[in-house]
Amino acid sequence: MQVSNFNNSEIRLLDIVNKGKINQSKPVTKNGEDFRTAFSNELSRAKSLNFSKHASQRLYSRGIEMSDDRLTKLSGAVDKAAEKGSKESLILDDSAAYVVSVPNRTVITAFDRNNLREGVFTSIDSAIIL
């Protein structure tokens, strides 16, 4: 047992010992991961983008390829929109446009250059040009 003085108060620090050895096991989540791994996985999941079924169909039918670089830029644009408090954002890059639900980090739909000619986007509160 250790005794320390702190502002004229006596504080007793007790070591909890199990049969002479301190229990140093790592806390484990219900699926068997340690906390650090579970927390890291949750952060990755929070940073990733989801694509609605509609958006996935539009990407495929319009021939819009989602490279790692494009996905990273798109994710960064969603981060910026979230910092500004956006809910539904239009994100434009060099060859396509995406309407994104920012709080859900979900791409709702996508347009290629040919489909941008109409130029009307509804139900958005922000636009980001990459």
Of residues 7 and 38, more confidence is placed in: 38
Percent of the chain with pLDDT over 90: 46
Q: What is the pLDDT of residue 92?
A: 94
Task: Mention every residue, 6+ apart, whose C-beta is less than 8 A from residue 99.
Answer: 88, 89, 90, 91, 107, 108, 109, 110, 121, 123, 124
DSSP 8-state assignment for residue 25: P
pTM beyond 0.85: the answer is no
- Mean pLDDT confidence for 27-35: 65
Cα four-point dihedral sign 76, 67, 95, 88: negative
Kindly indicate the confidence band of residue 4, based on its pLDDT and cuts at 50, 70 and 90.
Answer: very low
> Residue 128 in contact with residue 99, Cβ under 8 Å?
no
Alpha-carbon gap, residue 9 to 7, rounded angstroms = 5
R_g over Cα of the chain: 25
